[in-house]
Structure 1
């Protein structure tokens, strides 16, 4: 899968698959103790969800962990660190 992350604002990304926004990735909590959540935008049945989504939401301890899970997704958009 060729996922890309499009930065919207600090701690907020659109998740694109083949140029189509299919999910959001957002940070909640303080920067050093944040949780990142990837959430599909459409409630698809399990058999129709794009890999690696097995659930509608998945939580991660860092942006890098989420990027890795999404097949080392590239980040596009405004500069700056999250």
Structure 2
């Protein structure tokens, strides 16, 4: 039988210093806080899509959500909020 010697491996000080220097150079993305979209400002078509999604969710059906840009997605989410608030 071979005897295996147990040892604890530790990180060298130079490696830790290198990691902290790399972490300082990383630029974090800032989140832009935007205001709420007023109920009257929501696009009619996107509001209808929000009502459709809410109705399908209530019935337990799946829904195909088309690709859209971020501003359109915000309108759909606001329409969903309004639909759920009314129900």
Q: Give the alignment's TM-score, normalised by structure 1.
A: 0.23
Report the structure, 1 or 2, having the larger strand content.
Answer: 1
Look at both structures and tell me which one has the larger radius of gyration over its CA atoms. 2
Report the structure, 1 or 2, having the larger helix content.
Answer: 2
